Amino acid sequence: MHPKKNGQQQVFYRIYGSQLPASYFCTKIVPVSIIKKYYYHIVLLACLLPVLPLQAQKKIKLEPGAEQLSGFKKDGITYTSVKGNVEFTHQDTRFFCDSAVLARRTNYLEAYGHVRILDGDSVTLTADRLFYDGNTRVARLRDRVVLTQLGRMQLFTDNLDYDRNTAIAYYFGGGKIVDTTNVLVSERGYYNTRTNTASFKKNVVGKNDDYTMVSDTLVYNTKTGIVYFVAPTVLTDSEGNVFHHDHGQYDSRRKHSVYFAGKVETENYYLKGKNMVLDDIRGEYHVQGDVLLVAKEDQIFITGQQAAYNKKTSTTKVYDNPLLRMVSEGDTLYLKADTLVSIDSKADSLKRLLAYNNVRVYKSDIQAIADSVAYLVADSLMNFYGNPVMWTDDNQLTADTIQLVINNGTVSRLHLQNKAFVITQDSAGNYNQIKGRTMVAWFQDNELSRMDVHGNGESIFFMYDEEEGFLLGMNRIICSDITLIFADKRLVDASFKVNPEGRFIPPHELQPADKTLKDFVWYGDKRPQLEDFERPPIVIEPLQPALPGQINLEIKQTPAPPPGPAPPVRRPQKLRKMKKMPKKAKNH
């Protein structure tokens, strides 16, 4: 009996050997001395009270409504077997199935047939079999497993371990994730339902309306639609173009990509660079760092540090130290400028290569400088504009515009339009000169063979004694047209047509003004040399397309383990940014 006070029974609570009257917990004001005396007891009680209901929540609970209920005992553990309309709950997560076995002592559940798990408001899992450890909160689902999140993403596999602590689902033996934009498969990987991030590992294949992707490792966010490439990846677009890169990311909804160490190959072109930024919606693409553009059919190679491509106009601009190389017949034409532009078209007649500002050209048999150049691919014509100067052997050619005609990879002829002027310096330092309204220079076997001057012809030639080599005098002739014949790089014949007027001036009568025609300028110090062209090595790695067509997923069947303690967790290889798994609980 408890002692009485004022005729009533006094109630006490015993806390760790001390008795506290109940009035202490009901009185509005407790004396400070009492609080100090029982301070640690009160704190300990306050800590323990919330834990008691949590201990009860850790146990898996069988909800009423099952059609059959039975029990059995094995190895000292009591099991509850239920069938029909089965439902369990564990910490706000609901489990449904056709039949199940529950070990209350070990807090372990096995479920079979139409297994369904509702984890929160967003995640649903279905499977044929379930092995769930209530202590570790890890669910192992087997056979025809489907994880669905918010109805917008589904993960299909035959083997999935779902960790409720981290909200991460690990799959192995083949898995496939499908959302409104992409389908991605791999041999193993994981999906984080909190961050909406999926990581795929080994034999990864992805497909959407724009690309087919193949990689060894890939990360995908189903919420943002962004694919992160963390290993070398090959993509093939709907037009058959192949993309290869070491790593990067692709926004499948905005159709925007960033690639590193990227390469692109189409039917006619090859492109690579250190960094690539691709905007498929705008059709704008930018490449940076050690850029290489190859026109495969025409054997044209363009290098530089920056490149921009506009798909709508089929225009590629290469700048920041660009260099063009045109390979043919064992010889190479080099062209450099501030900016190079390639204009592509289905019609060959519209294909262009343009060079702007400070153009310099070198080929073994011809060199040139100009403000700009336009190369017409279909006609093999190269037009030089803006104070062009060209050299062939010992000849310097200038005009308002110079057109170079290439035939079978070699120079066929030159057209000099308006103010055509040809200068040749002889061994004595004098300058032979030919001037006219227009000129056509013909080449044979890469050497100048003939030159025709049309309109306003003027010429100056210095004459030398063939035996002694001393100067005999200078011939100055004015006429309408001139034809010059060359052999072995020397002038061997000259024809002056339509009212020629000539004057021979002996050496002692020559004045400086007599030695040059009007508009004479010698640009010998500006003649390009091969050493002027930085020629980075060209390395082309042919790209294999990604796997086309239908994506198939072969799923391995895992035999059902016997009822009892949970089977060991098969941990997939730790992937990038994967959270650390909790330690496996010991079975009782």
Contact 361, 371 (CB under 8 A): no
SS3 312: coil
Instruction: Give the pLDDT band (50/70/90) at residue 266.
Output: confident
Q: What is the structure's pLDDT at 509?
A: 93
**Which residues lie closer than 8 Å to 63 by C-beta, 6 or more apart?**
87, 88, 89
Instruction: Give the pLDDT band (50/70/90) at residue 39.
Output: low
Please give the average per-residue pLDDT across 365-375, as a whole number.
94
- Lowest-pLDDT range of 159-168, 205-214, 487-496: 487-496
Q: What is the structure's pLDDT at 327?
A: 86
Name the pTM for this structure: 0.73
Instruction: Give the pLDDT band (50/70/90) at residue 40.
Output: low
pLDDT at 25 over 90: no
DSSP annotation string for 104-130? TTTTEEEEEEEEEEEETTTEEEEEEEE
Map out the domains of the chain with their CATH numbers: 4-51 (no CATH), 58-224 (2.60.450.10), 303-532 (2.60.450.10)
Q: What is the structure's pLDDT at 379?
A: 87
Instruction: Give the pLDDT band (50/70/90) at residue 1.
Output: very low
Please give the average per-residue pLDDT across 215-241, as a whole number.
90
Instruction: Give the pLDDT band (50/70/90) at residue 7.
Output: very low
pLDDT digit string, tens, across residues 487-510: 887 788 889 998 899 999 999 999
Q: What is the structure's pLDDT at 536?
A: 82
Share above pLDDT 90 across residues of the chain, in percent, rounded to a whole number: 56
Q: What share of the chain is helix, strand, coil (3-state, %, to 5)?
A: 5, 55, 35
CA distance 374 to 366: 17
- Lowest-pLDDT range of 175-184, 201-210, 391-400, 558-567: 558-567
Please give the average per-residue pLDDT across 107-135, as a whole number.
95
CA distance 130 to 198: 22
Instruction: Give the pLDDT band (50/70/90) at residue 453.
Output: very high
Share above pLDDT 70 across residues of the chain, in percent, rounded to a whole number: 83
Average pLDDT in the chain:
83
Contact 576, 219 (CB under 8 A): yes
Q: What is the structure's pLDDT at 538?
A: 82
- For 120-254, list the strands marked E by DSSP: 123-133, 138-149, 153-163, 168-171, 175-179, 183-186, 188-192, 197-207, 211-221, 226-229, 233-237, 242-245, 247-251
pLDDT at 84 over 70: yes
- Lowest-pLDDT range of 54-58, 114-118, 412-416: 54-58
Please give the average per-residue pLDDT across 438-448, as a whole number.
89
The residue ranking higher by pLDDT, 2 or 455, is 455
Instruction: Give the pLDDT band (50/70/90) at residue 258.
Output: very high
Q: Which of 65, 53, 106, 100 is nearest to 80 (CA)?
A: 100
Q: What is the structure's pLDDT at 461?
A: 93
Other Cβ atoms within 10 Å of 531 Cβ, number: 8
Instruction: Give the pLDDT band (50/70/90) at residue 37.
Output: low
